[in-house]
Structure 1
Amino acid sequence: MTGVRWAYALNQWDTNIDAFVRRRDHERAFKTISISGFSGVELTAVSFGPWEPFGSPDEIAKLYGSLDGLREFLAECALEAVSSYVYDPFVGFEVEMGRGPDPLNPDSLEPIAATALWFADAVHRLGGATLVVRPVGSAWQTGELSDEQIGTLARLWTEVGRRIAGHEVRLALHVDFLSALRLGDSIDRLLTATDPEFVGLALDTAELAVAGINPVDFFRAHSDRVRHIQLKNARDTVDDVEALTPHAEQFVRTEGGTRRIGRWFFEPTDEGGLVDFEAFAEAVAESEYSGWIVVESDQSPHPAESAMVSGWYVQKVLRPIVEGTR
């Protein structure tokens, strides 16, 4: 198996808007990721202005002078690239902490495409390959998607994927555990309606597991459309009834719902986890997947420890399976 590169997501370090804004903090995180065996880092697009120095290309330029300046800083920390950006179109970049356009509104195509191009250019210049997007809002906001809504999303994301392809960046749709796409057969309907040349999937093992979807089976069924992989573990599931709770992003995801779940996501090595990572790695090895695999643990109270433990697991267990050297 060739063509697979390993990265780590920065989000577990960046937990508060004023807690990760200094270059020395970034240096420690990047060097920890590097010594843990990863060659890239995944960033998240957010709109907190100077409190989120990696939230947009503009903020990167303010702290590092330019995207090239950040690339040089990464190299100094022995990292090769920013593998990917995660972009939620509901995040507004016109106004700090603002609200962005709704993908289900046909008039949103141009503003979403313009922002996607902004991040795709950054990904390309930082040595990465993928723009990971949240393709639609949460289940409680929409219910099961109609054919008309699927058509609107398909036109939007096919066009966005076509435009960012000019930057040699691939579009990957990310299905989170509260997504409207979890309802019924919406994932398959959207994939059928989109152009596979320009629209792929970002498979997040933990988000799927929490939604009650087996990520190994899902990968085997959709490996031809998977353009990006995010590895993390989960212990608990959320059924459709709970996902349809009003304001589920706050009540369920942030506050833990009626069960008061304290933490949704864990390292791949977590003993109580739902995901069979060795079986998943075997499925990847048997496929033609080529691209980044990003390890996450975005609620870890000990980010450096989580990165190192995850790095050991990747180097000693998962990577040999994926590369066929075990």
Structure 2
Amino acid sequence: MTRAVKLGSAPDSWGVWFPDDPQQVPWQRFLDEVAAAGYTRIELGPHGYLPTDPSRLKEELDQRGLEMTAGTIFEHLHRPDSWDSTWQDVSAAASLTAAMGAKHLVVIPDFWRDPATGDLIEEPQLTDEQWTPYARNIDRLARQIREEYGLQFQFHPHADTHVDTHENVERFLAATDPSLVSLCLDTGHISYCGGDNLKLIRDHPDRIGYVHLKQVDPAVVDRAHAEGIGFGEAVRRGAMCEPPLGIPEMPPILDALSALDTELFAIVEQDMYPCPPDQPLPIAQRTYDYLTTCGGGRLV
């Protein structure tokens, strides 16, 4: 039995990485254009980019026929004494997400390499001694998000973080509680870090709770790894590309996701910060047309 995956998009596909940045399109334009591209579902994006007043945000979404699927926020629980500062950020995003009627919170680990400069700011790998308390803190965070806000915790492996490679994703899944922690499978980041998306879906079907659909240009990624540059610079060079021009191939991914027979949101993302303001909409329209065509009924 298969079930259609619910398609959406996000501010990320409009070059939005920060709550406020003069290089980014205004939030009103993002909402107008994401609806014009054909999408009816979006993520919250960086907390503070879209209006944080629930009533106003709901009004803006309703005017455009949009619904919220998830909030998005970073965590840094691998660092000592980091609970309070992490919870301050996470709870703010979770509160707005729940107020919008969404059921998921996508949580991303913080960087070991500065995304702007590419400078090393921490060791790239957690030690064996760091993994256990980190996983325990993640379980605690997921439990508290569920208990206080009714949200499912979706952990997002990400380039230039400590949960990046296939090996580290496997280690993270083994160390965390499957009843609390699901995976936001970002197909682009898994491929960027040399992982195998299909194998993760096959090996951990019960841990795939949310999806970001994204492709990478393997030639750009190979050069980025060879030169040791950071993820931010790799994006500026075009590491994340418009499907179907990159990897992983989308049809097998969609086949595997729809075969999970569970409700899944698949949110289109294409990192391209910064970008000209007129660039995102045509790409978003082409991507929507491509995915809904190649989806063969597996996307709605």
TM-score range, shorter chain: 0.7 to 0.9
Q: CA separation of 1:297/1:183 partners in 2, compared to 1, >3 Å: closer, same or farther?
A: closer
TM-score by length of 1: 0.77
| Equivalent of residue 280 in structure 2, options 300, 303, 312 | 303
What is the match of residue 230 of structure 2?
A: 252
What is the match of residue 289 of structure 1?
A: 262
Cα deviation code 1:127-183 (max 9, x no counterpart) = 222211223533763243223211121111111111111312111111112222235
The CA RMSD measured in Å over matched residues stands at: 2.8
**What displacement does 1:224 show?**
1.2
**What displacement does 1:119 show?**
1.0
What is the match of residue 117 of structure 2?
A: none
Amino acid corresponding to residue 162 of structure 2 in structure 1: A
Q: CA separation of 1:53/1:252 partners in 2, compared to 1, >3 Å: closer, same or farther?
A: closer
Matched, 1:161 2:142: yes
Give distance in 2, aligned partners of 1:285 and 1:2.
Answer: 5
Give distance in 1, aligned partners of 2:199 and 2:270.
Answer: 22
What is the match of residue 78 of structure 1?
A: 65
What is the match of residue 266 of structure 1?
A: 241
Give distance in 1, aligned partners of 2:165 and 2:31.
Answer: 38
Identity of aligned residues (%): 22
What is the match of residue 108 of structure 2?
A: 134
Give distance in 2, aligned partners of 1:129 and 1:277.
Answer: 25
Amino acid corresponding to residue 107 of structure 2 in structure 1: V
Q: CA separation of 1:105/1:20 partners in 2, compared to 1, >3 Å: closer, same or farther?
A: closer
Contact 2:13/2:268 (<8 A) preserved: no
Runs in 1 of length 4+ with deviation above 6 angstroms? Answer: none
> Structure 2 regions of 5+ residues with no counterpart?
114-119
Which segment is superposed worse, 184-193 or 285-294? 184-193
Give distance in 1, aligned partners of 2:23 and 2:161.
Answer: 29
Amino acid corresponding to residue 128 of structure 1 in structure 2: A
Give distance in 1, aligned partners of 2:54 and 2:248.
Answer: 36
Q: CA separation of 1:255/1:3 partners in 2, compared to 1, >3 Å: closer, same or farther?
A: closer
What is the match of residue 42 of structure 2?
A: 41
Which segment is superposed worse, 179-188 or 191-200? 179-188
Matched, 1:112 2:94: no
TM-score by length of 2: 0.83
> Structure 1 regions of 5+ residues with no counterpart?
47-51, 55-59, 90-101, 246-250
Q: Which has the higher contact order (CA 8 A, sep 6+)?
A: 2
**What displacement does 1:2 show?**
4.0
